Amino acid sequence: MSEEASPLAVRLEPEDQARASFYALLARLFGGAPDPELLRAIAEAAPLAPAEPAGEGDRLACDLALAWDALRAASARTDAEALREEYRALFVGVGRSDVSPYASHYLGRHSGRPLAEIRAALGDLGLARRSTVSEFEDHIAVVFEAMRMLVAGDGERLPSEIADQRKFFERYLVSWVADCCAAIDHSSVANYWRHVAQFARCFVGVETAAFALG
């Protein structure tokens, strides 16, 4: 929806626009295999160029830049059909996937009902699951997409306050995404998604540090 068509559209700061774009990309890559157009767009995207590391924040930014370069390179040399098979084997499987993309798999022992909690939290934020979305609300792609909407809003809602972003991020994303990425790293099926997982891990690290300063 264009800015002219939406009375709620706002102009994001460049930093928030970049955050929203990365959340959107991670939601797309964890939600299904990328098509040739997306692979080309990632491969041809500009590199990230942080300053030489001088502190923890700069080191995290450098790690993110390196992970982005690796994802760009992997996207340039990867065949879309092979990725469809890898995604299916890694996250869908026959009977059981090699890696679970659901928060409940990682948080169930600690929080009891993570799916119900995430569903309720999304409802409180006005982010009900669309009828066209088949994944449950605790799917990693849905959680990344929820963060995108909290950061950027859309034609029907404004961006959320930073406190609400931080609360959702800390409770429903950072609490388990590292375990999911580690499972991908250790999977014999994973190839391209190891790069996706590494980028996700580094991006979440940058966000964690930024929220701590905020």
Is residue 44 included in any domain, yes or no?
Answer: no
- CATH number, domain with residue 197: 1.10.3480.10
Is residue 63 included in any domain, yes or no?
Answer: no
pLDDT of residue 142: 93
pLDDT of residue 13: 92
**DSSP one-letter string for 4-17:** TT-TT-----HHHH
User: How does residue 5 score in pLDDT terms, banded at 50, 70 and 90?
Assistant: very low
Q: How many angstroms separate the CA atoms of 129 and 126, rounded?
A: 10
Is residue 21 included in any domain, yes or no?
Answer: yes
Is residue 185 included in any domain, yes or no?
Answer: yes
Is residue 56 included in any domain, yes or no?
Answer: no
- What would the mean pLDDT of 61-88 be, rounded to a whole number? 96
Is residue 139 included in any domain, yes or no?
Answer: yes
- What would the mean pLDDT of 142-161 be, rounded to a whole number? 91
Is residue 130 included in any domain, yes or no?
Answer: yes
Nearest residue to 172 via CA among 114, 105, 126: 114
pLDDT of residue 174: 95
Q: Would you give the DSSP letter of residue 188?
A: S
Is residue 173 included in any domain, yes or no?
Answer: yes
pLDDT of residue 50: 63
Residue 176 structural domain: 14-36+79-213
For residue 117, pLDDT over 90 is answered with: no
Provide the domain count of the chain. 1
pTM of the model: 0.89
- What would the mean pLDDT of 199-203 be, rounded to a whole number? 98
In tens, the pLDDT along 13-51 reads 999 999 999 999 999 999 999 999 999 999 999 999 765
